[in-house]
Amino acid sequence: MEVEQFKERLKTQEKRIVELEALVKYYEELYRLHQHRKFGSSSEKTHSEQLSLFDEAESEADKRKPEPTVEQVTYTRRRGREKQEETLPDLPVETVDHTLPEAERVCPECSSELHVMGHDTRRELKIIPAQVKILEHVRKVYACRNCEKTATSVPIIKATMPEPVIKGSAASPSSVAHIITQKYVNAVPLYRQEQEFLMNGILLSRQTMANWLVRSSEDWLLPLYEQMKLELLREEVLHADETTLQVLKEPGRSSRSESYMWLYRTSGCASNPIVLYEYQPTRSSAHPKAFLKEFQGYLHTDGYAGYHALPPEVKIVGCWAHARRKFDEAMKGAPPESREDLAAKRSLEFCNEMFRLEHEYEKLRPDERYKERFKRSKPVSDALFEWAETVGALPKSLLGKAVHYLLSQKIYLEKVFEDGRLELSNNRAERSIKPFVIGRKNWLFSATPKGAKASSVIYSLIETAKENGLKPFGYLEYLFEAMPNMMAEKIESLLPWSEVLPARCRVKPD
């Protein structure tokens, strides 16, 4: 009896040892992945020499191609050095002539007068620091002298004067545009702008600047935001993403609670790029459901389950970049000596082939891309899922989690084969939300929900302007000049893709 108990106990301990060994391996993977994230390259790009399932060296070799000569190599290298004229932008040119004094325009040989036979030119980029001055608007008031003498009433006529961007304030279109650009494009917090103004002898508090931003956002930018939202929801393909935001004075919530900035944007097939941010206090699926209430079509997202609760009219398209990223992490978390034999390597080979083929389809029409995907990419996708079903990775390992993510997202990842306008990844949304993430690292939080909403509107106008080839400062300044002095029905002429915007708004004027 004691022998049987001993064998049973031994079997239990052996099972426990196996579980603990697996747990140790998992923690070792996490440690190596943490070390790589801390000290290694953040790029997820796979070097061509690492993986070779689809890209063999033999496939790249071409013996018929002659070896380059030394002259060819030298010429190729020198081509990378651009001429100075090509690197300088198309800006106004100020010419400074350097001449000899008249007394020195004498030939040293025969003492005859010298004449100009040519010139040498050097071009420099001159920077003029920002200048601040008071712009005083003086409106003349007119009256009739004859009526003053003979009539019982005297007509008073005032000259026209543009309406201010904020009534009863010293704010001007250029000052508000400058403060917005500094904070939301260059990620300079208001307190640092306050210090910069103070060093130039100007007392402009961060509270005043914050008030200007909120007022200008509510009065002038919000109507444009609402119009852009209507245009966005008419599209048939969109991208979505979200990131955290800390709002200090949110009613009923701790100052350390996480709020969210949601992002919705058009896809590459849209004629007018639109990028919209929306502030919400939580990550609930109710927020995208409300925002996309009028939308019907495809929505690119990551694997967040909140998007899967959207109505069936919204077809969720998964992100292959996220799936690949998890296999990449499994590779980085594995011991260096075992990476060549790791199963994650094979999955990366499949994913890399998908993206390589997608690069070939870039210039194709949507209908052509649809056919090529079914012909060439679909077999690679099918092979990857078939491999994932049989790989047998431990559930708690990084590879096991990557495989689980891949299989759980299968129905969404395969949506990309339904329409040639769809994209293989949601990187377009991630790139658009990055400016907000960079800004957040500098200004850290929003004080109030009102400020967070103003930030969402301002970011939307700025990022959409950039997507449409506009200068953020020039565009905002023009908006704050025009909107207080125009009828509401003309708002469409101010949208970032409007053809009637002045040349000063554009990065490259027509």
pLDDT of 52 > 60? The answer is no
* H or E element, residue 258: strand 258-266
How much is the pLDDT for 55?
Answer: 45
Burial of residue 89, with CB atoms counted within 10 A of its CB: 0-12 exposed, 13-18 middle, 19 or more buried:
exposed
The percentage of the chain sitting over the pLDDT mark of 70, rounded to a whole number, equals 82
How far are the Cα atoms of 469, 471, 477, 478 from residue 177, in angstroms, in the given order?
A: 17, 11, 5, 9
pLDDT-derived band at 57, boundaries 50, 70, 90: very low
- Confidence check: pLDDT of 381 > 90: yes
From CA 265, how far away is CA 300, in angstroms rounded? 10
Instruction: Give first-to-last CA distance, the chain, whole Å.
Output: 94
DSSP labels, 372-427: HIIIIIHHHHHHHHHHHHH----TTSHHHHHHHHHHHTHHHHGGGGG-TT--S-SH
21-25, 66-70, 177-181, 186-190: least confident range: 66-70
For 30, phi and psi rounded to 5 degrees?
A: -60, -40
CA–CA separation, 265 and 180 (whole Å): 21
Residue 85 — very low, low, confident or very high, per pLDDT cuts 50/70/90?
Answer: low
Contacts of 15 (CB under 8 A, 6+ apart): none
Q: pLDDT band at 56, cuts 50/70/90? A: very low
Alpha-carbon span 206 to 199, nearest angstrom: 14
The distance of Cα 324 from the centroid of its chain, to the nearest Å, equals 21
Tens digits of residue pLDDT in 434-452: 999 888 877 767 778 888 9
pLDDT for residue 58: 40
Extract the tokens encoding 54.
């689809």
pTM above 0.75, yes or no: yes
User: Do the beta carbons of residue 421 and residue 269 sit within 8 Å?
Assistant: yes
Average pLDDT over residues 51-70: 48
Which residue, chain included where needed, has tokens 């380059």? 68
Structural contact between residues 297 and 314, judged by C-beta atoms closer than 8 angstroms: yes
